[in-house]
Amino acid sequence: MLELRPYESGDEVELAPRLKEIDVYECYCASGLEPLAALQESIKDSLELVTLVLDGSVLGISGVTPLDGEWYGVWLLTDDRLPQCRKSFLKLSHIMTRQWVSKYTHLCNWVALANETSRLWLATIGFTESVIDTNFMGSGEPFVFIHRSYA
């Protein structure tokens, strides 16, 4: 069973070795960091953190990070078990996103163009794609800017 709970110190240590390959790729392109270090940086900078737990073990961590002005970065890193709980994850992510966008007004992130699963999920929960950066953070890889604002 999938549950959403507040982040607890050490969740990132459990999750990092099992991160999905595409999430490892996105972390490296964005920061040059390996999974554990990327998670630790994201956690340190976040105003809100939640952990997804599936059958007693950490499935993913999500957070909201302040950016410029009224913009906030929203992020989610998971392991490969997410398809096992697709329906319950979609329901929880709708709830979480509605709460965060009502509190933080403008949510955004950059997603690898190759990450079709995340892009489809983000569109389903109300995010819009706009700009494509073909050399994201100097990585040489294409990423798309996604955003959702309070309406």
Host H or E run for residue 28: helix 21-31
pLDDT digits over 123-145, tens only? 999 999 999 999 999 999 999 99
Number of structural domains, the chain?
A: 1
Range of 27's domain? 2-149
The whole-number average pLDDT for the span 50-56 is 97
CATH code for the domain in which residue 84 is found: 3.40.630.30
pLDDT digits over 60-113, tens only? 999 999 998 899 999 999 999 999 999 999 999 999 998 998 999 899 999 999
Residue 69: per-residue pLDDT: 87
The whole-number average pLDDT for the span 39-60 is 97
Indicate if the pLDDT at residue 45 is higher than 70: yes
Residue type, 74: V
Distance CA 48, CA 34 (A): 22
With contact defined as beta carbons under 8 Å apart, do 68 and 21 qualify?
no
Return mean pLDDT, the chain. Answer: 95
Residue type, 91: K
Confidence of residue 151 (pLDDT cuts 50, 70, 90): low
The whole-number average pLDDT for the span 7-31 is 96
Cβ neighbours of residue 27 under 8 Å, at least 6 residues apart? 19, 33, 34, 35, 38, 39, 77
Residue 127: per-residue pLDDT: 96
Reference 104, options 145, 60, 73; nearest CA is: 73
The pTM of the full predicted model, rounded to 2 decimals, is: 0.94
